[in-house]
Structure 1
Amino acid sequence: MTGKTITIPEDLYKKAEEFIKKSGKEFKSVDDLVIFILQEFLSEEGEALTPEEEEKIRERLKALGYI
């Protein structure tokens, strides 16, 4: 797989690092976390989400500092 680079604000990167530390061994790096979030979000594109799924996504985005 070839990689591309994206830039995110430093404060958001630090929040992602803190999230990783709190989550245990679920994610090895910020890259892993971002890839997971994008895959989850984009794989559901076009599919109707339940209210529970929408809330779960909102909670994840809040925890990461996006909203």
Structure 2
Amino acid sequence: MKQRVGEPNTRYTTVSIPITLYDRIKNLIQGTGFTSVSQFVIYVLRDVVANMEQEKMSSTISEEEKKEIIERLKNLGYI
């Protein structure tokens, strides 16, 4: 794994995607705030992983626990 300059605690690895998908993403992000395909892919993967983790957690907690978590998030200003 390699480490990028300016990001002392973050390590990276390489993931391969088909060139056709890379090209589609490159065209898609033109004119957006994304400066690279990697930046966009990281953004999308973080969102997908967070959603999957939330779904997994939701299926293993009781309704009462879920209500408590939602209330805590509201009190913290996240919801």
Q: What band does the TM-score fall into relative to the shorter chain?
A: 0.5 to 0.7
User: Higher strand fraction: Structure 1 or Structure 2?
Assistant: 2
Identity of aligned pairs, percent? 30
CA distance in 1, matches of 2:39, 2:21: 15
Structure 1 stretches of 4+ with a deviation exceeding 6 A read none
Q: Over aligned residue pairs, what C-alpha RMSD do you find?
A: 1.4
Larger radius of gyration: 2
CA distance in structure 2 between the aligned counterparts of 1:25 and 1:16, rounded to whole angstroms: 11
TM-score, normalising length from structure 2?
A: 0.53
Match status 1:32 vs 2:34: no
Instruction: Give the aligned partner of residue 10 of structure 1.
Output: 19
Letter in 2 for 1:37: V
Q: Which runs of 5+ in 2 are unaligned?
A: 1-9, 59-79
Q: Distance in 2 between matches of 1:44 and 1:11?
A: 26
How many residues align? The count is 46
Distance 1:26 1:19 in 2: 11
